Structure 1
Amino acid sequence: MDAAALRRLLELRGQRVSLTDVQRALEQAGEPQFAGGSEALSALSAALGSLGTEKVRLAATRAEMLSERHLPALVEYQGRTWVLAEARGPRRLLDSGEGSTREVEAADLDQAFAIWFDRPAHAEERDRNGTRHSAARLLAGALAVRGRILVEVALATLLTSLLAVAISLFALQVYDRVIPSFSHATLHALAGVVGVLIVFDFVLRLVRARLLDRVSAEVDEEVSATVFRALIGVRLDARPGKVGTLAAQVAGLESARAFFASSVLFTIAEVPFALLFIAIIAFIAGPIAWFYGALALGALVAGLAAYAKLDSLSREQLEAGFRRNGLLVESIQGAETIKALGATWRFSERWREATKEIAAMSLRARTAMVGAATVAQSLASIAYVAVVVMGVYLVESGSLTVGALIACTMLGARVIGPIANGVALITQAQQAAQSLRAVDAVLDLPPEREHGVALLSPASLGHELVVEGARFCYGNVPVPQLDVPALRIAEGERVVLLGPPGSGKSTLLKILSGLYRPSQGRMLLGGVDVALLDPELVRRHVGYLPQDVQLFRGTLRENLDLEGTVSDDLLLQVVRELGLDALVRDHPRGLDREIFEGGSGLSGGQRQMAGIARLLLRRPSVLLLDEPTGALDHMFEARALRAIVNCLGPRDTFMLATHRTAALPLASRVIVVQQGRIVLDGEPGRVLKVLQAHGERAGQCAAPNAAVPA
């Protein structure tokens, strides 16, 4: 698959992405090929998803089958990938994606393989320019795409319901015709036919369950991927501080998906047939049908009453569940601290109180749900007794036969089932709705890629960093944590950032990296506002290393090369430069040694070295490091700094926040930050003299600086 052609296709559909991003997306998807069949389409779909192209289904066919509405499309012609851009009568316009086009006869493409987007470009444009997707719309859209399967499910339900009518008619015939004459031949014939129908019903139910499972799995995969991309794409400065709560909100999608993909489908398919059965009962036994009609109406009222009662209760229960899940995540992450400080009892008590609160709410919700179900069951029993009593009088009057009465009671059982399921569905709908609202809260968080904004992705970008009138506030705190009226880091500068804890050093680095956006003002990279640049482009140019290095479950190799694009030669070179080769050599699996969640099993220094290696492997042109050697001894600190310097080119920009003196000789400029403001900025020698002149105050601002002259 040619990256240039795919980029051109997306451009024609109104989505601007860089060629490098497309190449990376195709590499990560396993380089899908035209001849790869459904696996290639799945891989290409994954690549498009990583590029921000959502809700697009791919389809493959021969180029001769395409019409105007399918264009633009990808087509394989003469051994390479082209964009089939236009149909000009008997001729077709092909675009290489590299600035050249050519016209060919339509007949030349008769046997060519083509891939097209099974979704109009203008519809996709509406999605980008309109409101963001809600969870309900995502689920509805995913189900609508699979409408054919759902129609097959409805057809299977229709046939199984008709088989229920056949069994009721079998009972009617046996009681009214076979028993009076003891006609064994008729009995055996009827039993044989019904036996075949029962086998058919068995097969249909299995097929229906299989189809629903397939729909459920596909919907889960599609919607979950969309929600996960939205979660990952949230701006870091807009993300809620409660990680456990955020995780629980996303997990709520599972229950909502199960509700819509199975419960709703079954009930929606069966309820109409319950009404059909009532009509058949009315045809057979007349007034008896009124009892089942009253049953349906009474059950509906009970379900709606429970739904209203569960409205506020479900919301409170969901929020309490989020809080408890946050406590669980927090306790697991901080288990060492909790045990070391003897605070186990405190967290156990908080867990007990949270569980008690949820249990009380669950009991109230369960009471409402059980109440509605009990009312429906009681009404069903009353309806059955009333039908039998009424039926006796009708049989006595000769207007109804015994067989017809039995058939009506059997059909009545098929009426009661969907109605009871409908009542349960109404009560469950409230919980599903609350789960969807929780997912909506995630989807509503501000994304890095604003909808309807064509982000810039220039082929070349300068390395200069400029901050203009920047102020930053965390969350809803009105007091700014950082206030920088103006700051310029020239291309090729080496800057060391000093300041006491909480002074704003880390916040400044996050803003310079583009991970955080200023609450006021702007940050420019290479003369362009970062808010207008494609985030992936910014990540390639700007490398940021946070204080706390996060390692992920997998191998050491996977953690060092998260993108999976680094050669083994470069990987080994960086590992040796940093001294990580001992970590590799001391383990029998080398670079494939297993890393547990959060880097458990590695020391703080080893995790920090892994973070530095991860950054150097990316070879960014701007390096921003936040206390990169805080957990290292002097020998490894010197080694790490030497490796960082060796990685820098003459035009590369470098900024390091530290409280240690080892990095000061690398600096061409020192900036001192205090209380969110830049208080000193200049050549290292001059800044250090000013700090020393302030005596004790200098010790508070940059404690290690007193040792610099030695």
Structure 2
Amino acid sequence: MRVQGASMTSSPLEQTRSVFTRAFLVIGLFSICTSLLMLAGPIYMLQIYDRVINTGNIDTLTALTIIIFAALAVFTLLEGVRTLVAQRVGVWLDRKLFGPTLAGGVSQALSESGASAQGLRDVTAVRSYLASPAIFPLFDAPMAPLFLLILFVMHPLLGIVASVGAVFLFVLALVNELSTRKALQQASGASAKTFNAADAAVRNADVVAAMGMMPALARRIDDGAEQWRALQLRAGGRSGMLGAVAKGMRLFLQSAILGTGAWLVLGAEITPGMMIAASIMMSRALAPVEQSISAWQGLINAQAAWRRLKEVLAHRPALGQGTRLPEPKGELVADNVVYQPRTADTPVLKGVSFRVPAGTAVGLIGPTGSGKTTLARVIVGTRLPQRGGVRLDGADMAVWDPLDRARHVGYLPQDVELFDGTVKENIARLAEADDDDVVAAAQLAGVHDLILHLPQAYETPIGERGSYLSGGQRQRIALARAVFGRPRLLVLDEPNASLDAEGEDALVQAITSLKEAGHTIVMVSHKPALLAAVDRIMVMQDGRVTDFDERDKVMAKFGANAKRAAIRQVHPVEPGQ
């Protein structure tokens, strides 16, 4: 086992900074080069009008044409490399963040209701933005002052006209930012909620179809989608109008710079070539600003996705840190455990304390809502209490490295979920495993013969969420997964929910076998046949342990209480007696 130390690995987002810095420096360098090479066009036009046409020199035209072709070839190469670098950065980001984001999403789902795989969609959104041409105007815009400066060198009036246009477009970009950011952020959040709701509908397709919930569910989801559409329409409308104004302004400025240039040519203050070059130069200076306005929505969505990624990755569990401790024997101790979900007003567990010696099987009983399932989750370490703690061989579950802890803990939840893959892969917890270990787990769970009757035995694909299997088959394979590796601690939450008589017999045999081998077992169940296999029974009521004693003593108390309740029903006590 590994105990987590104080030193924590940095966030994957922080680890990406150095790569981003280097990549953006490369993209920025290429952007400077491509911007400088864009000067080749205006210079070529200037020389054509002012030298070639006036002199009629074919050699000069040929030389200039060769130079412009070479410059444009280099420009094409650098532009392609710049695009390739951006795409590779996006793919690298996806590879770097996919695993941590998935782990963070799973960890977030343990502590928050409504958590989903939205983080993976956010990774895709950021990657798509980085790999798209929409990112390049951010790198091209800093070169705009250079083009404006050249226009001032040509003639101050040309520089003034272009600068006024640049300021106007910059103001439009600022207005676009202020008027659409909030709506776009809200639309992004509403979109995520809508897709999460749709995912939930698909996951519960049987319930939706069987009970005719589709119309009502569709209306509910569509109400959320309508909010998203309205926000998207509002932000998109504003951005579209401002984009249209920016485009019209650029066309007006194009005419204005030509008119100004023509006036200066008539006054013999500049040459015709300079007039044409100035028009091209101004277009190049203003293009990044106009493109930024058009691509603003993508930038806002990427920023919103990045912020959500930060939140998801904050839940990422630290793996493989600390000192490895001896393999536990199985002693389980809870000390004044208090747990309150984030969405609850009162604690679900209220000062739960107990001690279970290694090799003891405990039955956990109590009415619905008494906290049994929550306690089971706290015991296996998927829920962290706000106060107190659960210790396995003296080490708090919170300080265990999750991967080390998982080797010694088996868990069968109330709602069994299997994964798309083969029977063998699911029993082995999706990890590489020896066939002997997988078969041993199946035999211990009493499901070996059942598996052999499947079409491909252990290599049988079970479909997404085990959809190719019956409920009882899924339950028994999940039990084999729980006992895989013979964990020192086994927690079973209503393990007989979908089992037939044969499955219950196999479960009792597995509990007996593990208990005799010194394994600790905690089982939530009210089935007498299963409780007969445990050593002690813990009774929960309203989040508290109200009784914890040997099985026969607790059952005797329940029998006496049931008998007294029956007597009261037959012979009610009169008032005053």
Same fold? TM cut 0.5 = yes
CA gap of 1:528–1:300, structure 2 versus 1, over 3 A, is: same
Deviation at residue 561 of structure 1 after TM alignment? 0.7
Residues 502-530 of structure 1, C-alpha deviations (whole Å, 9 max, x = no match)? 22221222222222222322222212333
Residues 446 and 510 in structure 2, CA contact (< 8 A), matched pair in contact too: no
Deviation at residue 185 of structure 1 after TM alignment? 3.1
Residues 423-481 of structure 1, C-alpha deviations (whole Å, 9 max, x = no match)? 34555443333222222332344x6549xx97564224342111122222222423222
**Match in the other structure for 2:269:** 399
**After alignment, is 424-433 or 314-323 more displaced?**
424-433
| In structure 1, distance between residues paired with 2:305 and 2:491 | 39
User: RMSD of the TM alignment (CA)?
Assistant: 2.9
**Match in the other structure for 1:547:** 414
**Match in the other structure for 1:322:** 192
Deviation at residue 697 of structure 1 after TM alignment? 8.6
Mapping 1:437-456, distance limit 5 Å: 437-445=307-315, 448-449=317-318
| In structure 1, distance between residues paired with 2:240 and 2:564 | 69
CA gap of 1:574–1:437, structure 2 versus 1, over 3 A, is: closer
Q: Which amino acid aligns with 1:386?
A: A
**Match in the other structure for 2:85:** 211
SS in 1 for 2:518: coil
Mapping 1:76-91, distance limit 5 Å: none
Q: Which amino acid aligns with 1:337?
A: V
Deviation at residue 493 of structure 1 after TM alignment? 1.3
Residues 234 and 448 in structure 1, CA contact (< 8 A), matched pair in contact too: no
Mapping 1:83-482, distance limit 5 Å: 133=11, 137=14, 139-144=16-21, 147=22, 149-234=23-108, 236=110, 239-243=111-115, 246-260=116-130, 266-426=136-296, 428-445=298-315, 448-449=317-318, 457-482=324-349
| In structure 1, distance between residues paired with 2:426 and 2:410 | 16
Residues 511 and 533 in structure 2, CA contact (< 8 A), matched pair in contact too: no
**Match in the other structure for 1:535:** 402
Mapping 1:676-687, distance limit 5 Å: 676-687=543-554
Mapping 1:684-695, distance limit 5 Å: 684-695=551-562
CA gap of 1:306–1:571, structure 2 versus 1, over 3 A, is: same
Deviation at residue 588 of structure 1 after TM alignment? 4.3
**Match in the other structure for 1:494:** 361
| In structure 1, distance between residues paired with 2:33 and 2:351 | 72
SS in 1 for 2:269: coil
| In structure 2, distance between residues paired with 1:449 and 1:326 | 27
**Match in the other structure for 1:623:** 490
| In structure 2, distance between residues paired with 1:171 and 1:344 | 65
Deviation at residue 216 of structure 1 after TM alignment? 1.8
**Match in the other structure for 1:4:** none
| In structure 1, distance between residues paired with 2:350 and 2:220 | 38
Structure 2 residue 513 is matched with structure 1 residue 641: no
Q: Which amino acid aligns with 1:345?
A: P
| In structure 2, distance between residues paired with 1:432 and 1:639 | 52
**Match in the other structure for 2:442:** 575
SS in 2 for 1:483: strand
CA gap of 1:232–1:341, structure 2 versus 1, over 3 A, is: closer
Q: TM-score w.r.t. structure 2 length?
A: 0.90
**Match in the other structure for 2:575:** none
**Match in the other structure for 2:528:** 661
Residues 135-181 of structure 1, C-alpha deviations (whole Å, 9 max, x = no match)? 5x56534402xx1x444433333332233212211111212222234
Deviation at residue 634 of structure 1 after TM alignment? 0.7
Deviation at residue 356 of structure 1 after TM alignment? 1.8
SS in 1 for 2:342: coil
SS in 2 for 1:554: coil
Residues 139 and 257 in structure 1, CA contact (< 8 A), matched pair in contact too: no
| In structure 2, distance between residues paired with 1:345 and 1:224 | 35
**Unaligned 5+ residue runs, structure 2?**
567-577
Q: Which amino acid aligns with 2:239?
A: M
CA gap of 1:459–1:229, structure 2 versus 1, over 3 A, is: same
| In structure 1, distance between residues paired with 2:556 and 2:384 | 34
SS in 2 for 1:467: strand
Deviation at residue 406 of structure 1 after TM alignment? 1.0
Name the count of aligned residue pairs: 566
Q: Which amino acid aligns with 1:310?
A: T
Deviation at residue 619 of structure 1 after TM alignment? 1.2
Q: TM-score w.r.t. structure 1 length?
A: 0.74
Which of structure 1's runs of 4+ aligned residues deviate more than 6 A?
Answer: 696-699
CA gap of 1:156–1:580, structure 2 versus 1, over 3 A, is: same
Residues 661-699 of structure 1, C-alpha deviations (whole Å, 9 max, x = no match)? 221221221222233222332222222222122227989
Q: Which amino acid aligns with 1:171?
A: M
| In structure 1, distance between residues paired with 2:484 and 2:321 | 30
Residues 537 and 549 in structure 2, CA contact (< 8 A), matched pair in contact too: yes
**After alignment, is 626-635 or 643-652 more displaced?**
643-652
CA gap of 1:559–1:573, structure 2 versus 1, over 3 A, is: same
**Unaligned 5+ residue runs, structure 1?**
1-16, 22-50, 53-123, 700-710
Mapping 1:576-615, distance limit 5 Å: 576-615=443-482
Q: Which amino acid aligns with 2:52?
A: V
Deviation at residue 593 of structure 1 after TM alignment? 2.1
| In structure 2, distance between residues paired with 1:521 and 1:160 | 62
Deviation at residue 261 of structure 1 after TM alignment? 5.9
Residues 669 and 683 in structure 1, CA contact (< 8 A), matched pair in contact too: yes
Deviation at residue 347 of structure 1 after TM alignment? 0.8
What is the identity percentage for the equivalent residue pairs of Structure 1 and Structure 2?
A: 26
| In structure 2, distance between residues paired with 1:493 and 1:273 | 73
**Match in the other structure for 1:672:** 539
Deviation at residue 578 of structure 1 after TM alignment? 4.0
Residues 414 and 493 in structure 2, CA contact (< 8 A), matched pair in contact too: yes
Q: Which has the higher contact order (CA 8 A, sep 6+)?
A: 2
| In structure 1, distance between residues paired with 2:382 and 2:12 | 25
| In structure 1, distance between residues paired with 2:543 and 2:83 | 61
**After alignment, is 422-431 or 482-491 more displaced?**
422-431
